[in-house]
Amino acid sequence: MTPRQVIARNHVEDSENRMHSDEVARRYGFRGGLVAGVTVYGYLTWPLTQRFGEHALQQAIHAVRLIKPAYDGETLRVEMEQASEGLRARSWNTAGDLLAELEFRAPGDKMPRPAGADALSGPRKLPDRPLIDWTNLLPMQPFTPWHWTITEDLNQTFAAQADDDNRLFHEYAHPHGILSMANQALMREYILPAWIHVSSEIRFHHLLRVNETVAVEAVPLDKWTRRGHEFVRLYVRFVRDAEVTTEIFHTAIFKVAT
């Protein structure tokens, strides 16, 4: 497929996550506010859905890794190539820096059941939304579930933010919006002043259609420190009429080293 160029846009500059603001991001050594990782993921899904249509969003795995930040106004080049187990989409900036990559696999019906799924039947936390820290982020302690309705207007907003005018998304939920709900799972549970999404694995079992409502359930699987950063790996699933449609393993730095 011919490489595609897209202008990166920071649509969440006013987000509670101040890593998307120029002032705060520069304090951490970045050039400016970071374009949201879920938006970068949305750019990477474009060649997949152009080639495979809705088949890219059912019985498929998307594993995205965010390597370097994208900044508002940068021109990104998105290319797709063969990988060992499927296809790989990558994005570069004009300086030639590899910013992100997405591996696409179609394992059929053999996706294993994740270990974190059993924890979701346990007791729920109270929805008090504290400031996140190491002591109150508890692995295997489920978050408070909620319901998400994939409205037509919201879906078109997610598609537009990913610079994607594929008519497929008049009917089906855009992957940018789907992965954004993993961010929402953290932000509904905790106050996070400045944090960074670093990777995700999305397991698409069944298609999600516009105007459907799903239950969103989440639980932290693990937390760890590396080079002064504090990380969390979150498990999120969407449930429709007792059927799991989508599973997400979402990794973020919830406290950035200073």
Structure tokens at 196: 């960074």
Closest alpha carbon to 246 in 139, 168, 173, 154: 173
Closest alpha carbon to 111 in 29, 202, 180, 45: 202
**Mean pLDDT for the stretch of residues 3-18:** 95
Phi (first) and psi of residue 223, to 5 degrees = -145, 150
Q: Is 70 exceeded by the pLDDT of residue 113?
A: no
Helix (H, G, I), strand (E, B) or coil at 258: coil
Name which of 43-47, 100-104, 110-114 the model is least confident about: 110-114
What pLDDT, on the 0 to 100 scale, is given for residue 104? 95
Structure tokens at 231: 């990380």
**Mean pLDDT for the stretch of residues 31-50:** 97
**Mean pLDDT for the stretch of residues 24-31:** 96
Q: Which domain holds residue 212?
A: 4-255
Structure tokens at 133: 């820290």
pTM: 0.94
Determine contact, residues 194/18, Cβ cutoff 8 Å: yes
What are the tens digits of pLDDT across the range 195-237?
A: 999 999 999 999 999 999 999 999 999 999 999 999 999 999 9
CA distance to 39, 78, 117, 215, per residue, from 46 (Å):
11, 9, 30, 26
Residue 125's pLDDT band (boundaries 50, 70, 90)? low
What are the tens digits of pLDDT across the range 85-99?
A: 789 999 999 999 999
Q: Residue written as tokens 């004009």? A: 94
- Alpha-carbon dihedral sign for residues 186, 190, 191, 196: negative
Name which of 83-92, 101-110, 170-179, 243-252 the model is least confident about: 101-110
Number of domains in the chain: 1
Q: Is 90 exceeded by the pLDDT of residue 248?
A: yes
Residue 198: its H or E element: strand 196-204
Rounded-to-integer distance, Cα 68 and Cα 59, Å: 29
**CATH number (domain holding residue 44):** 3.10.129.10
Rounded-to-integer distance, Cα 255 and Cα 199, Å: 15
Determine contact, residues 48/104, Cβ cutoff 8 Å: yes
What pLDDT, on the 0 to 100 scale, is given for residue 208? 97
What pLDDT, on the 0 to 100 scale, is given for residue 227? 95
Q: Residue written as tokens 């897209």? A: 6
Between 167 and 83, residue with greater pLDDT: 167
What are the tens digits of pLDDT across the range 126-176?
A: 668 999 999 999 999 999 999 999 999 999 999 999 999 999 999 999 999
